[in-house]
């Protein structure tokens, strides 16, 4: 089984962190390839960043189709381009926020999300509502650290995240914590040990869900809105998408 894990930002160190976490959790026989777009934001911290990064995600899915990938993981907590990516392939495509929310509800009746910045916390709230998990989430909390601090000031960032997770444990009446950034993929065990609660991280959750879907023989439906896009001309910088015919 080949799972292509796509980091939608262009920071190579974060892609490596995400790929290593995915490889550690993958079952024997599962091959993980971690990839990132050639163009786009170095971190994703806004609606604008997500919109720009989505094109790179779609290009990575098309590349994965040529390589015969069995499933895809979009490793940003905003799940940028998720539905569009599902249009391009029959393979399962899993966003890490949706995966983490699902997993958290299987081990607790209430959870809180701990993310990087307050503004991205609002994006997480939108996703909770969109995916139907608002009732399960007590609160979305922000450690107020830039995403790149996870790479550049890792120790200090970890302290801030643990402190916010402890506040969530003590104040929110929850049973689990969801980490709200793909760059936190390698922090799960440390945070869980320090806080004493189950900690769900989306990259690893998405890998296991992808393995399960492939193992069950479940593919992305091509009936309705997730059917392959209709071929048509594109212009300018998107001319390469003209008459797009994804692998069928």
- Residue 60's domain is classified under what CATH number? 3.40.50.12500
Does residue 52 lie within any of the structural domains? yes
**Strand order across the 176-179 sheet:** 137-142, 111-115, 176-179, 199-201
Determine the pLDDT at residue 248.
53
Residue 76: closest CA among 106, 52, 53, 60: 53
Determine the pLDDT at residue 247.
65
Does residue 246 lie within any of the structural domains? no
216 and 181 share one domain: no
106 and 194 share one domain: yes
d(CA 147, CA 74): 16
Does residue 247 lie within any of the structural domains? no
Split the chain (248 residues) into runs of 10 and give each run's mean pLDDT.
98 96 97 97 96 97 96 98 98 98 98 96 96 98 92 89 97 97 93 97 98 98 95 93 79
Residue 61 domain boundaries: 2-95+205-241
196 and 232 share one domain: no
Are 205 and 79 in contact by the 8 Å Cβ rule? The answer is no
70 and 140 share one domain: no
101 and 90 share one domain: no
Q: Would you list the DSSP string of the chain?
A: -EEEEE-SS--HHHHHHHHHHHHHHSPTTPEEEEE--SSS-SS--SHHHHHHHHHHHHHHHHHHHHHT-SEEEE-STT-TTHHHHHHT-SS-EEEHHHHHHHHHHHH-S-EEEEES-HHHHHHHHHHHHHHT-TTTEEEEEE----TTHHHHSHHHHHHHHHHHHHHHHHHS--SEEEE--GGGTT-HHHHHHHH-S-EEEHHHHHHHHHHHHHHTT-----SGGGSPPPP----GGGGGGTT-----
The domain tally of the chain equals: 2
73 and 142 share one domain: no
Determine the pLDDT at residue 245.
80
Determine the pLDDT at residue 246.
77
d(CA 114, CA 212): 26
6 and 65 share one domain: yes
218 and 189 share one domain: no
d(CA 19, CA 6): 9
87 and 209 share one domain: yes
209 and 91 share one domain: yes
């Amino acid at each position: 089984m080949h799972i292509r894990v796509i980091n939608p930002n262009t920071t190579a160190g974060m892609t490596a962190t995400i790929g290593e976490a995915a490889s550690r959790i993958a079952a024997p026989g599962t091959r993980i390839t971690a990839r990132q777009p050639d163009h786009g934001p170095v971190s994703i911290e806004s609606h604008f960043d997500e919109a720009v990064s989505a094109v790179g995600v779609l290009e990575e899915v098309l590349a994965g189709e040529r390589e015969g990938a069995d499933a895809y993981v979009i490793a940003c907590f905003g799940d940028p381009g998720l539905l569009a990516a599902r249009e391009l392939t029959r393979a399962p495509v899993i966003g890490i926020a949706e995966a983490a929310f699902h997993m958290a509800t299987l081990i607790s009746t209430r959870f809180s999300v701990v993310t990087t910045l307050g503004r991205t916390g609002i994006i997480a709230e939108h996703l909770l509502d969109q995916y139907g998990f608002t009732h399960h989430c007590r609160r979305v909390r922000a450690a107020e650290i830039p995403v790149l601090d996870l790479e550049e000031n890792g120790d200090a960032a970890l302290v801030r995240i643990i402190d916010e997770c402890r506040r969530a444990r003590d104040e929110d009446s929850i049973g689990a914590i969801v980490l709200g950034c793909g760059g936190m993929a390698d922090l799960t065990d440390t945070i869980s040990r320090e806080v004493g609660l189950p900690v769900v991280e989306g990259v690893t959750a998405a890998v296991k869900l992808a393995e399960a879907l492939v193992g069950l023989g479940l593919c992305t439906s091509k009936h309705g809105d997730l059917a392959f896009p209709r071929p048509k001309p594109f212009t300018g910088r998107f001319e390469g998408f003209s008459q797009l015919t994804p692998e069928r």
